[in-house]
Amino acid sequence: MSASAPVITLDGPGGAGKGTLAGRLSQWLGWALLDSGALYRLVGLYALRDGLSIDAAVDLASAVARARALDVHFESGAEGQRVLMEGDDVTQVIRSDEVSQAASLWAANPDIRAALLDRQRAFAGAPGLIADGRDMGTVIFPDADLKLFVTASAAERARRRYEQLSAQGVAANLSRIYREIVDRDERDASRETAPLKPAADAHVIDTTGDSVDTSSRKIRELVAARGWLGTS
């Protein structure tokens, strides 16, 4: 990909801090940001809204057709990216635990993944792209210029989610959150199509026990070494 606009991929399990780090990278470099998880969350959302069953061939066909034609816009704002589906702001609703589970289920389907493939590649372009997901460095952008695999222990990710929900005043159960995270990891890592795993040439960033600033610093060094930060 070096001949064209550069791509940095960030893959890893949910709750490891990828989204925050991808946002920082995008700010430092002024490059576009692809939140590929949001695309799978949109599939989960319309599947739930329309009562689609992944086990019914007719429902799967309709979910695939809708994924191909998906009308989605990412808009950057002060609080990160807003996600619009068919003009409807779904930024918050796609973060619910219900949609997370549905997204993970539908994301395991190869036809759904194929339907979203070209759409994701189309995000690449000048001056560069930060691609956040599970298979960015392995499947979507195998020739990316820098590949990061951002991870953290399941217990730490559960604690972060619990604290996030508590801060929002939402009643949460730590052991249930932990169980859901382990189940989702297991499903994302064991699926046949594009399982969650580091690319052979990825730099592994383990954020367990590290602050966002500490993890950011590690990534900034890798980016600076490639000369993308100019003289700053």
Q: Which two tokens stand for residue 189?
A: 């890592």
36 binds ligand DC (CB under 6 A): yes
Does 147 bind ligand DC (CB under 6 A)? Our answer is no
> 110-121 and 57-68 are packed helices; what angle lies between their axes, rounded to 10 degrees?
0
Tell me: does residue 185 bind ligand DC (CB under 6 A).
no
Kindly identify the residues of this chain, within the stretch 100-129, that bind ligand DC according to CB under 6 A. Answer: 103-104, 107
Q: What contacts 81, CB < 8 A, 6 or more positions away?
A: 23, 33, 35, 38, 74, 75, 91
Residue nearest to ligand DC as judged by C-beta position: 37
Between residues 37 and 128, which has the closer beta carbon with respect to ligand DC?
Answer: 37
Which H or E run contains 44? helix 36-49
3-state secondary structure of 86: coil
Q: Which residues of 112-121 are buried (b: 16+ CB within 10 A; e: fewer)?
A: bbebbeebbe
Other Cβ atoms within 10 Å of 42 Cβ, number: 25
* Residue 134 in contact with ligand DC, rule: CB under 6 A: yes
137 contributes a contact to ligand DC by CB under 6 A: no
Q: Using an 8 Å Cβ cutoff, are 54 and 60 in contact?
A: yes
Is 135 a binding residue for ligand DC by CB under 6 A? The answer is yes
Q: Is 181 in the site for ligand DC (CB under 6 A)?
A: no
Give the number of residues in contact with ligand DC, rule: CB under 6 A: 13
| Cβ nearer to ligand DC, comparing 36 with 216 | 36
> Among 6, 22, 32, 37, which residue sits at the site for ligand DC (rule: CB under 6 A)?
37
Binding status of residue 184 toward ligand DC by CB under 6 A: yes
The label of the residue with tokens 């590949």 reads: 147
Contacts with ligand DC, residue ranges (CB under 6 A): 14, 36-37, 40-41, 103-104, 107, 133-135, 184, 188
